[in-house]
């Protein structure tokens, strides 16, 4: 493991007396990622992937489970379900194009756990990892209709700009 993932996992309270942990993704998280995707509403899937999607593509799963930690990172928010099994309730990721010091982020939180601060904590931790890895800018493309994400990134200090050739998206960026 390298410097981007060698910290102790962060633990945060949930409103119901339980808690969740943010940790780096592991190769054996495949089934937990699929379960998170299955729990996302069609609207949440559309807002995350920018088109209707009913199945998580195998290529996406392979990419996210086998990361090159020098240029990309994925963090999971996990909690223990009633049977004591670890359950993924959120995921945030960044990827870095070759030879650049900027990264592009993506994030998804289970509909059941939306509005509990999970997305905020995932983004704060993702930003901290990107800074530690020497990246200078974090950016993302957010659907104009995704008001919750636009509010979140605004609160975290991201600049929000219109794309000149694409009214359906905003580009958001943060100097790290």
Sign of the Cα pseudo-torsion (117, 119, 122, 127, in order): negative
C-beta atoms surrounding 27 within 10 Å: 8
Specify the pLDDT at position 6: 56
The pTM of this model reads 0.86
d(CA 162, CA 165): 9
In this structure, are residues 144 and 47 in contact, taking their beta carbons and an 8 Å threshold?
no
Each domain of the chain, given as residue ranges in start order, spans: 10-138
Q: What is the pLDDT of residues 112-154, one digit of tens each?
A: 888 889 999 999 999 999 999 999 999 999 989 899 999 999 9
10-138 topology per CATH: Aminopeptidase (3.40.630)
Residues in the chain, pLDDT under 70: 1-7, 46-47, 49-53
Specify the pLDDT at position 22: 95
d(CA 36, CA 114): 13
Q: What DSSP string runs through 81-143?
A: -TTS-EEEEEEEEEE--TT-SEEEEEEEE-GGGTTSSHHHHHHHHHHHHHHHTT--EEEEEEE
Specify the pLDDT at position 7: 63
């Amino acid at each position: 493991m390298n410097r981007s993932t060698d910290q102790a996992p962060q633990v945060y309270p949930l409103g119901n007396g339980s808690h969740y942990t943010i940790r780096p993704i592991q190769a054996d998280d495949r089934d937990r990622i699929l379960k998170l995707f299955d729990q996302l509403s069609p609207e949440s899937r559309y807002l995350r992937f920018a088109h209707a999607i009913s199945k998580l593509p195998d290529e996406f799963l392979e990419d996210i489970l086998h990361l090159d930690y020098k240029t990309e990172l994925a963090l999971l928010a996990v909690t223990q379900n009633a049977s004591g099994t670890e359950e993924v309730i959120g995921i945030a990721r960044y990827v870095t194009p070759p030879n650049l010091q900027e990264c592009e982020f993506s994030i998804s939180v289970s509909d059941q756990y939306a509005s509990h601060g999970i997305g905020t904590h995932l983004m704060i931790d993702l930003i901290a990892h990107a800074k530690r890895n020497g990246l200078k800018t974090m950016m993302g493309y957010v659907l104009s209709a995704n008001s919750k994400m636009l509010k979140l990134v605004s609160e975290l200090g991201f600049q929000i700009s219109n794309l000149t050739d694409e009214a359906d998206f905003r580009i958001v960026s943060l100097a790290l």
